[in-house]
Amino acid sequence: MMTHQQNNVEKRFILSLIFTLLILVGEVVGGLITHSLALLSDAAHVFMDVFALGLSFLALRLSSRPADDRHTYGWHRLEVLAALINGLTLLVISVTIGWEAYQRFLSPAPVRGPLMLVIAVLGLVVNLVVALVLGSHRHGEKSHIHRDLNLQSAFLHVVGDAVSSVGVIVAAVLIMLTGLEWVDPLASVLIAILILVSSFRVLKSSLHILVEGTPDGLSLAEVEREMLQTPAVASIHDLHVWNLCSQDVALSAHVVLEADHAQSQEQVMQDLRQRLDERFEILHTTLQFEDTACIDKFACNGGASHPVVN
């Protein structure tokens, strides 16, 4: 079932898509009329933003589907796959823009600076509006430990668009004042570099999740220290923490109980769950209780089967 928060996020995506499509149409038409490679380069960036927003919106919808026998954790990883695809397409676009800029350096074309300036200013205004729409999701968050990769990447895309628009504006003003047409492909190169940086940022985040790296902002040492604050817990070992998606974190661990503890396993479990939720927002936990510390390293790392309490 779709939550109120998810419904609100979807509305932000739809509104952002509409505004971004307006920017795309304006910059494509303006770039063709003014012969500005900088505008067309920025339009390519905007097109990828439309693609990214659309793909992220689709992933958001699909990820709300419930878990089943074939997908026991649900469809949350679709969000990460969408981000990975977005990062790869941004990488291709940045290389393409760089090549086109090189060709324009070799064969400069006349650019209509005034119209280019007007379109770039309009693009900047709309980009700032979209950034405001997407950026407002941060207010009221429980913490900044987990941030939605879709929203974060979309927000970075739009901010990148705004910076690109500023670059086009500067290029248009310089062309109008100096008549130096090579400023246009130079602005395209700068836009390509900006897109490249954005693509690496998104690729790094998505790949880190896919290889089940420790979530950003989380320290295994801090998690272990917090778990050891629970009464009756003597030690923790074989501790693993990973992302199911950018917001959902899973944890598994072996918990060694004190020999003379008076608490039931259910009491210990509830305390551990509460601590992990309140401090780190970890809700998916698999904990194995033991009375003695694990000596066999192979068994500690999954070589032996033991009863598990969830």
Q: Is 279 within a domain?
A: yes
Are 183 and 267 found together in one domain?
Answer: no
Q: Which domain holds residue 93?
A: 4-210
Are 89 and 195 contacting, i.e. CB atoms less than 8 angstroms apart? no
CATH number reported for the structural domain that contains residue 249 in this entry:
3.30.70.1350
What the block records as the tokens of 216 is 């950003």
CA distances for 47 relative to 7, 32, 195, angstroms: 25, 15, 12
The Cα–Cα gap between 48 and 45 comes to: 5
Are 185 and 267 found together in one domain?
Answer: no
Tens digits of pLDDT across the chain (310 residues): 445 456 677 777 788 888 888 888 888 888 888 877 777 877 876 787 787 778 777 777 776 777 777 777 777 777 788 778 878 887 887 888 788 788 777 877 677 778 778 888 888 888 788 777 776 554 444 444 445 565 666 676 677 677 777 877 888 888 888 877 788 788 888 878 887 887 888 888 888 888 888 888 888 999 999 999 998 899 999 999 998 877 788 999 999 998 887 778 888 999 999 999 988 889 889 999 987 765 554 445 443 334 444 4
Are 265 and 157 found together in one domain?
Answer: no
Count of domains in the chain? 2
The set of residues, in sequence order, having a beta carbon less than 8 Å from that of 125 and lying 6+ positions away, is none
Are 238 and 301 contacting, i.e. CB atoms less than 8 angstroms apart? yes
Are 270 and 233 contacting, i.e. CB atoms less than 8 angstroms apart? no
Are 257 and 137 found together in one domain?
Answer: no
Q: Percent helix, strand, coil in the chain (nearest 5)?
A: 65, 10, 25
Are 56 and 75 found together in one domain?
Answer: yes
Domain end, chosen from 169, 187, 210, is at 210
CATH number reported for the structural domain that contains residue 122 in this entry:
1.20.1510.10
